[in-house]
Every structure is written in C-alpha cells, then in structure tokens.
Amino acid sequence: VQLQASGGGSVQAGDSLRLSCAASDGAFSGRAMGWFRQAPGKDREFVAVISWDGAKTSYADSVKGRFTLSRRYAETTVYLQMNSLKPEDTAVYFCAARQGAGVLNPLEGWYFWGQGTLVTVSS
C-alpha cells in the first residue's frame, strides 16, 4: 500500500498549485486523509484534513481561505488546491491517512504517510 503525492514545484508568490495524493489499491477508502508540511529547520505541521466521504474539512489557520482540500465520495485520491501562495508556504508536503473517518482532533490518529512533494514559493 502506498500514498503517492505529486504536483509540487517552484512558483512565484501569489501563484497557485494543486497537489494530488493517490492511494494504491483503493486503500483508505473509509479513512480521513490529509496533508502536513515541513519547512526547512521546522517541525512537521498540520495543513488540512478531509473526511472519508469528502463532506467535511478542517484547515490550519495559516492556510484557511487559501487552500482547499477535496476528494470525491469515498475515493482515495485527494487534491489540495493551493492559491495565493506565500514564501512561508515553502515546505515539503506530505499526505497521510488517519485511523478515523472524520476531521475532529486533526492532530491525532495519523498512521500512514506518503512520500513528500516539495513546494517552493519565491517572492
């Protein structure tokens, strides 16, 4: 089982990117999925989570209103649309799957991680 992340790149401040994360073999169909990021020299931080059915989301304050996480009902590919990117969004972005299906307590229950994809935003 794998989580395959893609879509990273180098952009200018104000630009947009869309990250994708696909689970192999349809794994995690009943699980919430989400994204974390880790900037150089910093700890990994929560970005966003989406419920198993795509109906509910939760975001870090730092990305709220700029990033949108989506997935089709019960599908195991999730998309992180990132708009109005800022230099402080520069990080390696990791997708992950949770033990539970919902979005409450978004810092807990992450048990499976994909490889990262690098996002670089220059000013």
Q: How many residues does the chain have?
A: 123
Check: CB of residue 83 under 8 Å from CB of residue 16: yes
- Looking at residue 96, its pLDDT comes to 96
Check: CB of residue 13 under 8 Å from CB of residue 121: yes
Q: What is the pLDDT of residues 84-112, one digit of tens each?
A: 999 999 999 999 999 999 999 999 999 99
Cα distance between residue 33 and residue 110, in whole Å:
9
Average pLDDT, integer, range 1-17: 95
Q: What is the pLDDT of residues 48-67, one digit of tens each?
A: 999 999 999 999 999 999 99
Check: CB of residue 67 under 8 Å from CB of residue 47: yes
DSSP H stretches of helix in 1-123: none
Q: Across the strands, what pairs with 26?
A: none
- Looking at residue 75, its pLDDT comes to 84
- Looking at residue 81, its pLDDT comes to 98
Cα–Cα distances (Å) from 42 to 24, 45, 71, in that order, read 30, 9, 28
Check: CB of residue 3 under 8 Å from CB of residue 23: yes
- Looking at residue 11, its pLDDT comes to 98
